[in-house]
Chain A
């Protein structure tokens, strides 16, 4: 099980700059669909990457679904040389995105974020409208039902004109 409370508290208390996106953001907006990981977009500055690496290190991040024993090293260089990472840790599954298709990076998404007061901390979550745009841009057939649900949630929030 992914311990959302532990992961979100860990990242915020470590001053990692991140935005909750994907299925967890959908949950925050009222989705009833099951998601099993925490998707975040992280800022790619060297300082932030250092904070992210240091925060997750005690929880042994490793590529999710990969065979054990790969020469995977959880270092700042690994993050800088890569972009997006699908990881399992001892406190749950977390996907790190340097960029989202159709959404860009942390700074591009920042204007479309909401601040959530969650688990005694404060963190950023992608707005419902932007989340739908990003999911549409990804163009994955598996997202169609999720997009439909998110659009219904958006319509429920918008007063009739």
Chain B
């Protein structure tokens, strides 16, 4: 169980979720500046938008 401040008693449901988190991604972020974290987020958004666009195109092409 992770060590939390007294104001945050561990929640058993949240504790279950922690087991599946790949914390190596967070460690990578912690090495960045806050500004770099936001720039990375924007790059991720662009990637997500591109995936959505490609999926829409695939669905449209499948209907033809």
Residues of A near any B CB (own CB < 8 A): 1-5, 24, 27-28, 30-32, 34-36, 116-119, 129, 132-133, 136, 144-145, 147-149, 151-156, 158, 160-161
Contacts and interface: CB of A to CB of B under 8 A. Distances in A.
A32 B8 contact: no
A96 B61 CA distance: 39
Interface residues on B, range: 20 to 34
Contact of B4 (A32, A35, A119, A155): A155
Determine chain A's interface SS by DSSP, over half rule. helix
B56 interface: no
A129 B38 contact: no
Contacts of B49: 1
A27 B26 CA distance: 10
